[in-house]
Amino acid sequence: MASLVRVLLAVVTLWAVAGCSGGDPDSPSKESAAADSSSSASSTRPSAAPEPPRPKVGSCYRLAYRQALAPTNTSAPRPCATPHTAVTYAVGELDTVVDGHLLAVDATRVRDQVAAACPGRLLRFLGGTEEQLRLTSLHAVWFSPTLKQADHGQNWFRCDVIALGGDQRLATLPDRLHGVLATEAGRRAVGVCGTAEPGAPTFTRVICSAPHTWRAISSYDVRGDAFPGTEKLQVLAQSRCKPAVKAQADDPLDFRWGYDWPTREQWQAGQHFGLCWAPEG
């Protein structure tokens, strides 16, 4: 979830919505130690530092918002039956050799590999469609080894899924996220909802498992390479969202609807779509 992105960074401005209303399998961790003894001496060579454990798909973590934004993470996993805010859905190998030269794990070219790999793997884990993913609070974040871990031979990248629960806050995730978008109940639980109508002073995006009054029910694409500007985006949103909400309304002659559009920051980070909203219940 383009220069995309620590997708979460896009999603940060992300939650300051501009809106209006109208009527891979992992390998087991490795540990190595070397201790050679001399047949003629009582002293031994010091043991090498143990190699840090490799992340595992399916591991759960209790990350804070700022930790999810960081390029590395050394938090220990926790049982998924306990409250957690991140789940590892993919682990892969970094390609750190370019033209015969070894790149550092924090090199821009290496980090760009991860930024390209993780978002594309999210739907494989969640199931569902791109449209259904847009209507959720779920987003991909990713991590690579620290320089110290890289010195110990670690060459992995880790993809986690998180849910935004409000302004600069992560939501607690359901016990099971694998395939969550394959069912209506799952989609509703992790959907993106609002505490008020879009554009209202009290509007805040929340995960739909939290108290809310509005829900995003569809999305629309914004074409083009350059940011269209707020006025054009508002006109486009109105033309797309009113009929979309009307089609799902109980009474097509009497319904309320809302919309939002990507901010300039979100656009530059790769989010080229907006959401259509309807009151919940």
What per-residue confidence (pLDDT) applies to 23?
Answer: 56
Tell me the mean pLDDT in the region 144-150: 90
Q: How confident is the model at residue 51 (pLDDT cuts 50, 70, 90)?
A: low
Lowest mean pLDDT of 79-83, 85-89, 114-118, name the range: 114-118
CB atoms within 10 A of CB 147: 11
Q: Which residue has the higher pLDDT, 273 or 31?
A: 273
* E strand residue ranges, the chain: 18-22, 60-61, 86-93, 97-98, 101-102, 138-143, 156-166, 169-170, 192-194, 205-207, 214-221, 257-261, 273-279
Strand partners, 163: 138
What per-residue confidence (pLDDT) applies to 21?
Answer: 65
pLDDT digits (tens, 9 = 90+) for 222-254: 999 999 999 999 999 999 999 999 999 999 999
Share of the chain above pLDDT 70, in %: 80
Q: Which residue has the higher pLDDT, 111 or 127?
A: 127
Tell me the mean pLDDT in the region 31-58: 52
Tell me the mean pLDDT in the region 218-222: 97
Q: How confident is the model at residue 269 (pLDDT cuts 50, 70, 90)?
A: confident
What per-residue confidence (pLDDT) applies to 139?
Answer: 96
Lowest mean pLDDT of 10-19, 53-62, 209-218, name the range: 10-19
What per-residue confidence (pLDDT) applies to 9?
Answer: 43
pLDDT at 176 over 80: yes
Share of the chain above pLDDT 90, in %: 67
> Phi, psi at residue 40, to the nearest 5°?
-115, 5
What per-residue confidence (pLDDT) applies to 264?
Answer: 95
What per-residue confidence (pLDDT) applies to 86?
Answer: 98
pLDDT at 271 over 60: yes
What per-residue confidence (pLDDT) applies to 44?
Answer: 45
pLDDT at 60 over 80: yes
pLDDT at 24 over 70: no
- Which residue type, as a one-letter code, is found at position 12? V
Pseudo-torsion of CA 74, 177, 64, 94, nearest 10°? 40
pLDDT at 257 over 50: yes
What per-residue confidence (pLDDT) applies to 96?
Answer: 79
Is the sign of the CA dihedral 225, 263, 123, 194 positive or negative? negative
